[in-house]
Structure 1
Amino acid sequence: MSSACDGLAELRSGFVDGALSPEDSERVVAHLLSCADCRADVAELRAVRDLLGRSGAGTPAPAPLSARLVSIADDASVRPWTKAFDGSRGLALPSERRRARVRAVLGTLATGAILGVVGLTGWFAAPNGNLAAVADPADEAQAEFGAAAAELSVTGASLSALMLLDSLPEATQDGSQVERPSQKIHHAEGEPEAVDLLDRAMAAGRTTTVAGDQAVLARMDERTVAARVGVDTRSRQGAMVSVFDPDGHVLASSFAQAQVAAADGASPVDLIAHAYALSTGSGLHVAGRRASVVEARDEHGMVAKRWWVDDATGVLLWQESYDDEGLSTAAGFTEVDVVPYANVAPTKAATRLATSVVSADAAQLSRSGWSCSDEMAGLDLLEVTTDTPTDPRSVHVVYGDGASTVSVLQRHGRLSGAPAGARWDDKLQAWRHSGAVRWATWQSGDTVYTVTTDGPSSLLRRSVAAFPHEGPVETTTLGRVREGWSRILADLKG
C-alpha cells in the first residue's frame, strides 16, 4: 500500500463499523474506488467483524457452567434485587426459558472473548509490520565483502586498490596507455606447478615486505580506466594503499589487514584448483623482475584469471580478470622493491564486522526464511555470519571459487531510497553500480538484498537472479493474524 493508504488505516476501520461522519465516509469511498489493496483490507475487516458477530449466535453455554453461574452466590441470587424488599415469601428458581436466554448470552460472550484472545495473540506474535528503514546498505556491504574476499581469494593488496578506485572517479584516466605484461608463454607446465606457484604467492603475501607503485585498471561503462596506486606491504602486518590523482597527489589511503592462513577448510588455492583448469608458463617479466604466469580456464575453456608471480620471491606482481568482453579488471606493479621474509612482529587478524556462526546454522537460517543455499551461480557457500547469535536481523553469506568472490548482505527492513552511485536496472530488477567492484541492491518482501562481487558483470547478473525478487511486503489485518499464528505453530514444532 502507498503512504496515502497508510493514512486511511483508522478511517477504514471506522468505515467498516459505520462510525464515520458523512465527509470521512465519502473520502474513504472515493479512495476505495481506485485502490484494490484497500478494498481487500476492508473486506477482511468486515469478515472479522461478521465472524465475531455470528460466532456466538444460538450457541448455548454448557449446562454445568450455566448452573454454576446461577447458583454462585446462593438461591436468592436468581431474584431481581428490586424484589428483595417486596414482602413476598419464597424464592423461585428461574424458568427454563430464562435459563436458556442466560446460557445463550454467556455463550456469545465466551466465544467472542476466545476469538478476541486468538486474534490479539496472532497480531502480537506476528513480526512488526513497521519495517526499519535501510537507507543505503552499499557501504556496509562493501566492508563485509572486502574482509571476506581478502581472506577467501588470491588477491594481494590489489583488492583494496580496486575498492578505493571505485570511490574516486577523479583519480581515473584513460587506461589504454597502460603497459600490461606479456601474455606469451615460453614454456608451459601443468596444474601441479600452477598450484605450487599460487601457494607460494599466498605465503609470500604474509611474510614479505613489498613497496612500490601499481597500475590499477577496470572496465567501467564500456571504457577502461586506470589509476596510479602506491602500495607499502609490511610482513604479517598488512598493506597501506594510497590512490594518487593524475598529478601525483594522494587522494585517499586505506589499510588492508594481512591475509591470514585458513585454520581449517579449503584454502583459496584449493578452491581455484577445483573450479578451473590450471596451467603455468615461464620466461616473462613484470616491473623488471622475472616472473611466471598461472592461467585459469573455466569449464568452457575461456580464460577467467591470470596471476604473474615473481620467480625469486613468490610475490604476486600482477593479476588480471576476464569476462566475455575481454579484460574486466587488472592490478599490478610498475615499480617494486621486495624484501623477502622481513623480521616484523605479527599482528592480530582483522576483526570481522559480523558475529560468526557455525556453517551448520546455514540450514537453520534457511528454514527461518534467509537465503543461505549451499551453491549459488556455480559458486560454493564458504561462510555465513549474522549480526547476533540468535534472532538475527542481518545475515551475510559469502560464495567463491578462490578467483572470484560474491558477498550477499541480507537485512530485514525497507529500502528507503536509491543508493548513492547506483541506477535502476530493469533487467536485474535492482539498483546496480558498475565499477571496479560491482554491486546491486533491491527489496524483496521484508528483506533488502545487496550483492557485491569482484567478478565480471555476468557473475553479478547470475548472482542477483539467484535470490528472491518479490517486491515490498504488504500485510492486511487478517493476514497479520494468520502470520502470527503461523509463527507460533512453527516455534512449537521446533
Structure 2
Amino acid sequence: MSSACDGLAELRSGFVDGALSPQDSERVATHLVGCAGCRADVAELRAVRDLLGRSAGRTAPAPLSDRLVSIAGDASARPWTKAFDSSGGLSLPSERRRARVRALLGTLAVGAVLTAIGLTGWFAAPTSNLAAVADPADEAQAEFGAAAAELSVTGASLSALMLLDSLPEAATSDAGIVRPSPKGRHSDDEAEAERMLDRALAAGRTTTVNGQQAVLAQTQHRLLGARVRMDTRSTQGTLVSVLAPDGSTLASSLAPAQVTTDEGTSPVDLIAHAYALSYDSGVSVAGQRASVVTASDQHGSPAKRWWVDDDTGVLLWQESYDGDRLSTAAGFTEVDVVPYARVGQTRVAARVAGSGSSADADADAAHLASSGWSCADEMAGLDLLEVSTDTPTDPRSLHAVYGDGVSTVSVLQRHGRLSGIPSGARWDDALGAWRHDGAVRWSTWQSGDTVYTVTTDGTASLLRQAVATFPHAGPVETTTLGRVREGWSRILADLKG
C-alpha cells in the first residue's frame, strides 16, 4: 500500500465500527473507491468484527461459571437488587443476570483468544526484505550497451545514440543533415553482402578514424538530430563526444573496441539467419566510396542498412527503420580514414552465455526459470543469446539478452521494490509500465517482488511485444489477515520441523 493508505490505517478500523465523523467517513469512502488494497483490508476487518459478534451468544465455560457461583455462596441466589441491602448483607444478581455475565465473559474470552492468535501470527510473519530499487534505467542501459556492442553491427555510433538520450540540450531538428542515398548498382548476392559486414566488423582493428557524425532519432513526436565527434584509436576504443548546437562539447564517453575471436556466433550470422541480405555498390558517404548492405524482413521491407567504405571496410553510416519510416540513423558527415593494415575478414564473435553457444544459454535459462525467474529461450521473435546473474548461487538479479543482429533487447530483472518514478519516463497504461522513448527505448515496472527493465534499440512495436512477454502482477501487497496467515504458516512449518 502507498503512504496515503498507511495514513488511513486507524480510520479504516473506525470506518468499520461506524465510529468516524461524517468528514472522516467520507474521506475513507472516497479513498476506497480507487484502492483495491484498502478495500480488501476493510473487508477483512469486517470479517473479524462479524466473528466477534457471532461469539456474543456464547457463554463462559461451565467450570468458570460454577467457580464464580461457588465464590458467591448462598448469596448467589438472591436478586441483584438486594445486593446492597444492609439488612441482608451482600447479594449477587439473579439467574438472568448471571447468564448475561456468563455471555459477556464468554465474549471477552473468545475475543482475547482471537486477539492473541492474531498478534502471534502478525509478529511471527517474516518482515519484508525487498531492497529498494530507486531507478534501474542507468544500470539497464549500461548492460544493454555492452551487450549490443558485441551482438550487433553498430560500431561506436551506439554510444552516441545513448549519450543523446541523456543530453536533451544537444538535440536539434534534423534540418541540415543530409542522409546518403541507398540506391546504386543493386545485387542480391547474399554471400558478398555478408563479406561486407564482416569487413565492417574487422575494420576497427585496422584503421584510425577521426571525424564528425550526425545522429538522428525518431521520438514519439518528431525526428531529432545531434552532432557527435569521433576519435577512434583501433584497439584502444573510440572517444565519443556529443556537441552542443554551438559546437562545444557537452559530454564524452569511451566506447571500447569490439573483441574479435575465431569462435562463437557472429552478429553477421545472426543477421543472415533472420533477414534477406542484398547490397548496392557505387554510393558515397562524406566523400568516401561505399556500398550499402540492406537487411530486409520477411515482408521485403528494409529493417536496417549499413554503408561500408569500399577501401577500408569502415562503417560510415547506418540506419534502422520502423515500418516505412526512419527510426534511428548515425554516420559520418566529415571523416578521415587512415588504414594501417590490410583489412581481413576475421569473424567477430558474439558473447553467448560466456561460452559461445546458444545451447548453453538455453540450458542456463531453463535452470533459472525453474527457480522462478522469467527467462524464456525466445522472446518477441528473438532468440536468447546470453544470460547471466549477479552471483552463481541465490542470485538477486538476472540479465538476459535477445537479438537477431539487427535489433537487441536487454532484460534486467532485480529482486526488490521500485521506490520511485524512473527519470525521464512516463506511465503507459497500455504497457502497464513506465516508458521512455528515445534513440534507445526502455520500459520498467514492478511485478511481485521483481523489478523488470526492458531496453532495446529496436522499434516501438518490438518494445511493446517484449514488455508484454513478462508478468505484470503489480507489487506485493500483504493485508492484515494475510500477514496473520503467513505468520501461522511459518509457525506450523517450524513445528513440523
The interval holding the TM-score normalised by the smaller chain is 0.7 to 0.9
Give the aligned partner of residue 437 of structure 2: 434
Contact 1:397–1:407 (8 Å) recurs in 2: yes
Provide closer, same or farther for how the CA distance between residues 314 and 34 of structure 1 changes in structure 2, counting only shifts above 3 A: closer
Residue 189 of structure 1 and its aligned partner are, at CA, apart by 3.5
TM-score (norm 1): 0.73
Give the aligned partner of residue 451 of structure 2: 448
Give the aligned partner of residue 211 of structure 1: 210
Contact 1:355–1:387 (8 Å) recurs in 2: no
Counterpart Cα distance in 2 of 1:14 and 1:188: 79
Provide closer, same or farther for how the CA distance between residues 276 and 30 of structure 1 changes in structure 2, counting only shifts above 3 A: closer
1:424-462 Cα shifts (integer Å, max 9, x gaps): 222222221111111111222222211111112121121
Counterpart Cα distance in 1 of 2:3 and 2:274: 49
Q: Is residue 2:16 matched to residue 1:3?
A: no
Q: Is residue 2:122 matched to residue 1:123?
A: no
Matches within 5 A, 1:72-87: none
Counterpart Cα distance in 2 of 1:204 and 1:431: 39
Give the aligned partner of residue 376 of structure 1: 379
Contact 2:387–2:400 (8 Å) recurs in 1: yes
Matches within 5 A, 1:83-482: 123-124=125-126, 128-129=127-128, 131-261=130-260, 264-341=263-340, 360-476=363-479, 479=482
Counterpart Cα distance in 2 of 1:481 and 1:271: 53
Contact 2:449–2:476 (8 Å) recurs in 1: yes
1:361-384 Cα shifts (integer Å, max 9, x gaps): 322221222211111111111111
Counterpart Cα distance in 1 of 2:263 and 2:413: 26
Aligned length: 418
Letter in 2 for 1:475: T
Structure 2 unaligned regions, length at least 5: 56-113, 343-350
Provide closer, same or farther for how the CA distance between residues 315 and 120 of structure 1 changes in structure 2, counting only shifts above 3 A: same
Counterpart Cα distance in 1 of 2:372 and 2:394: 12
**Between the two proteins, what is the percent identity of the paired residues?**
74
1:137-188 Cα shifts (integer Å, max 9, x gaps): 1111111111111111100010011111111222222214211111212141
Residue 400 of structure 1 and its aligned partner are, at CA, apart by 0.7
Residue 284 of structure 1 and its aligned partner are, at CA, apart by 0.9
Counterpart Cα distance in 1 of 2:199 and 2:293: 12
Contact 2:441–2:457 (8 Å) recurs in 1: yes
Structure 1 stretches of at least 4 aligned residues deviating more than 6 Å after TM superposition: 8-16, 27-30, 42-50, 118-122, 354-358, 481-490
Contact 1:428–1:464 (8 Å) recurs in 2: yes
TM-score (norm 2): 0.73
Letter in 2 for 1:297: S
Contact 1:174–1:226 (8 Å) recurs in 2: yes
Provide closer, same or farther for how the CA distance between residues 408 and 485 of structure 1 changes in structure 2, counting only shifts above 3 A: farther
Residue 475 of structure 1 and its aligned partner are, at CA, apart by 2.2
Residue 291 of structure 1 and its aligned partner are, at CA, apart by 0.8
Letter in 2 for 1:152: L
Counterpart Cα distance in 1 of 2:376 and 2:490: 22
Structure 1 unaligned regions, length at least 5: 55-111, 344-351
1:104-146 Cα shifts (integer Å, max 9, x gaps): xxxxxxxx9xx99x9699834xxx5353222211111111111
Residue 309 of structure 1 and its aligned partner are, at CA, apart by 0.7
Provide closer, same or farther for how the CA distance between residues 475 and 361 of structure 1 changes in structure 2, counting only shifts above 3 A: farther
3-state SS of 2:145 partner: helix
Letter in 2 for 1:141: A
Provide closer, same or farther for how the CA distance between residues 488 and 327 of structure 1 changes in structure 2, counting only shifts above 3 A: farther
Letter in 2 for 1:155: T
Letter in 2 for 1:461: R
Provide closer, same or farther for how the CA distance between residues 479 and 242 of structure 1 changes in structure 2, counting only shifts above 3 A: same
Contact 1:141–1:450 (8 Å) recurs in 2: yes
1:29-60 Cα shifts (integer Å, max 9, x gaps): 9969975645645776899999xxx9xxxxxx
Provide closer, same or farther for how the CA distance between residues 259 and 155 of structure 1 changes in structure 2, counting only shifts above 3 A: same
Give the aligned partner of residue 75 of structure 1: none
3-state SS of 1:192 partner: helix
Letter in 2 for 1:175: D
The 10-residue stretch of structure 1 (30-39 or 133-142) with the greater mean CA deviation from structure 2: 30-39
Contact 1:355–1:386 (8 Å) recurs in 2: no
RMSD: 4.0
1:182-203 Cα shifts (integer Å, max 9, x gaps): 1212141421111111111111
Counterpart Cα distance in 1 of 2:239 and 2:284: 25
Counterpart Cα distance in 2 of 1:487 and 1:180: 65
Residue 339 of structure 1 and its aligned partner are, at CA, apart by 2.3
Give the aligned partner of residue 101 of structure 2: none
